Amino acid sequence: MSYTGYVTTGSVCSRFHKAVELIGGRWTGPILQAVLADRHRYADIKEAVPGVSDTMLPQRLRALEAEGLLERRVLPTSPVRVEYHATEKGSALLPALAAVAAWAEDWIELDAGSAQEVHSA
């Protein structure tokens, strides 16, 4: 995997920053992972992403659809059934998310205060 382009050309740098924005978007990783783990319906995705609210989840699903990471399918059943599927672009993002998560797990220490906050939440 070459890393050279990132340094030498401005357009690659802009692409990189757009990617970081997407990756850093709240719930992007957990939602994508849930969908890739065969959870395609709203209720199933919600169950797989602990802590996400019914305000936040529809908003994030729309955003991920707008970014081309998820595809929303309306199945012509009665009543209609809505499913979310990862696009090729969305699936391809997982290794990058996993690499960032792995580094974070190894190297980022949380201060006692914020760890406390998380555990009691």
Task: With both helix axes pointing from N to C terminus, report the angle between 28-36 and 56-66 in degrees, rounded to the nearest 10.
Answer: 80
Q: Least distance from C-beta 58 to a second copy, angstroms?
A: 19
Of 18 and 81, which CB lies nearer to a second copy in the complex structure? 18
How large is the greatest C-alpha to C-alpha distance in the chain, in angstroms? 54
Does 29 help bind a second copy (rule: CB under 8 A)?
yes
Given a contact cutoff of 8 angstroms between Cβ atoms, the answer to whether 118 and 108 are in contact is: no
Q: Which residue carries 């990756």 as its tokens? A: 23
Q: Which of residues 90-119 bind a second copy (CB under 8 A)?
A: 92-108, 110, 114-115, 118-119
| Binding-site member from 43, 50, 74, 113 for a second copy (CB under 8 A) | 50
